[in-house]
Amino acid sequence: MIRQMDRILGGLWGLLIGDALGVPYEFNDPSDLPPKDKIEFNPPDGFVRSHRGVLPGTWSDDGAQALCLLDSLLECKTMDIHNFASKLLAWYENGLWAVDNKVFDVGNQTAASLREYKNGMPPNKSGFIIPDGKGNGSLMRVLPLALWHKGDNEELVYFAHLQSLVTHGHEINQVCCALYCLWAKGMMNDLLVDEAYKGAVKELREIYRKDSQYYNELEYCLRPDDEPFGKGGGYVVDSFRSVRMVLNNEDSYEAVVKAAVSLGHDTDTTAAIAGGLAGIAYGFDSMPDRWVASLRGREELHTLINGLLLHHGVI
């Protein structure tokens, strides 16, 4: 049995390491990537890395925004959308929780939403600035909510929706975040990957029974019972399906994140989302020591990690 502390640490480190692993390969077609066994923080000789000014082992916007969420949850002891939005803006403008305080990768919808928030739009409205925006920018950061949360499932779903509204307001973004959090919570409670997923789908259907819009997005857009197939793209449904696919097909943390990167395209985000869940599933102790030791910015995590573990009473 994997200890709760090992699952908590696995989730957080798993997201950050997956993100950092994917950074140098972003925007490439899968056919242009190295073989899986050569995918590392530092790509093999001859591969032209993306974000060439960024040192190997650096997490991107995915990790920084996730840490902003965790920071806000620990500070406010609840999901406070105003506090969270202010931290996202501090990341965007000043590099809060970015490695070396340098922001090098920002999604168009996230940038537009945060500019609107800065100009006075309420944070529960700013994520609708692109009404049909369905990117993965809120799914990539939501895992700390599931790692922190101790309330009932309806509250977890509500909070998952709330954090999404700041930058990605469309219902399908909220639905994907909610299902992901319930899935993570199931694994935190020692369920296997597929068992936890099926339980999360069943629970979310019950929660959405009284809201036809969310229910329809779940059933007819995300289609959670379909066999998962994804291409590693930036569309939130494709991201979710890609993550489910690699988790179903692989049996270790390292194999999951390398398979996520091998899909190409939005490599850092796919590997961050998949890596967080794989970290919960297999635990922190399953992660390669070379990646843990080489993750840049890890020294800055101690306060957040200790706060999260104290919150759960495991230290």
Please report, in range form, the residues annotated as the binding site.
60-62, 266, 268-269
**Residue 42, number of CB atoms within 10 A of its CB:** 12
> If we measure between CA atoms, which residue out of 140, 70, 60 comes closest to residue 92?
60
Report whether 176 contacts 201 (CB < 8 A): no
Q: Which residue bears the tokens 């996230």?
A: 110
DSSP state of 263: T
Report whether 178 contacts 312 (CB < 8 A): no
Residue numbers belonging to the annotated binding site for Mg(2+): 60-62, 266, 268-269
> If we measure between CA atoms, which residue out of 180, 173, 181 comes closest to residue 155?
181
β-bridge partners, 8: none
- The pair of three-digit structure tokens given for residue 99, joined into one six-digit string: 């490695």
**CA–CA separation, 168 and 128 (whole Å):** 7
> If we measure between CA atoms, which residue out of 259, 257, 229 comes closest to residue 244?
229
β-bridge partners, 135: 235
**CA–CA separation, 185 and 181 (whole Å):** 6
> If we measure between CA atoms, which residue out of 241, 269, 277, 272 comes closest to residue 136?
269
33 torsion bin: left (phi>0), alpha (psi -120 to 50), beta (else): beta
Q: Which residue bears the tokens 């806000």?
A: 72
Return all residues near 264 (Cβ < 8 A) that are at least 6 apart.
25, 28, 29, 30, 31, 32, 33, 231, 232
**CA–CA separation, 33 and 198 (whole Å):** 33
